[in-house]
Structure 1
């Protein structure tokens, strides 16, 4: 899985936690502990999919455009990371007469596709609001 999904969820939860639900990319990057240009790349994806918008000028930044209660993690995963659960690898020498090597890639592709479907089913029940609740609960337990 790539880190875009984690950066996207973290950014959206951060924006949802702000009273005005707005922050600059530098503020978000500092909170995510990631380079601002990488955060801006992910924010661009989120903007394209309607989760956030931007306000130009003094006091501007990125703001949450979606409802945290309605933004499900499966949709965010689809926007940022679909297909990333499958590693890029090639198994065996398919030129040899070997039923394992010749069929392993196809079988593993199906396994990773099935695993991703299970992941999406789980993420469908989770929203940005629920993640924020968990973050706040974890803070209270400290």
Structure 2
């Protein structure tokens, strides 16, 4: 899986948490701990698919253009990372005499494709709203711990 998936999920959750405000690529990049150019690349993908909108110029930025309870992590994975689970196989030559070398790539491709399908099914059970709810639960848990320590 590539980091574009995590940047996209993080960015969508951040924007969902700021329903009345926009966020610049610099603000998102600071929050995600990455370079603004990477954020702009991911946001361009999200914008092209209608998940976010953008206002250009002074006072502009990105805004959520979708219902976070309707966007699944599976959708975001398909947009940003499809095929990234499967590594490239450089072992063997189809014309070799070795049974393993001739067949390992197609066998492993099939295994990784099946694993990716299962992962997407799991991701489809989670929405951006679910992620935001889990973040809020984690924040509350940390507040309780801090209160108990004092």
* Band the TM-score falls in, shorter-chain normalisation: over 0.9
Q: How does 1:1-142 map to 2 (within 5 A)?
A: 1-142=1-142
Using the alignment, how far apart are the partners of 1:110 and 1:72 within structure 2?
A: 25
Give structure 1 regions of 4+ aligned residues with deviation exceeding 4 angstroms.
Answer: none
Using the alignment, how far apart are the partners of 1:19 and 1:116 within structure 2?
A: 32
Structure 2: which 5+ runs fail to align?
143-150
Structure 1 position 16, deviation (Å): 0.6
Q: Is the 8 A contact 2:19 2:64 kept in 1?
A: no
Q: Is the 8 A contact 1:73 1:124 kept in 2?
A: yes
Does the residue aligned with 1:59 lie in a helix, a strand or coil? Answer: coil
Deviations 1:83-118 (A, max 9, x none): 111112312344431111110000000001000100
Q: Alpha carbon RMSD of aligned pairs, Å?
A: 1.1
How high is the TM-score relative to the length of structure 1? Answer: 0.95
How high is the TM-score relative to the length of structure 2? Answer: 0.90
Larger C-alpha radius of gyration, 1 or 2?
Answer: 2
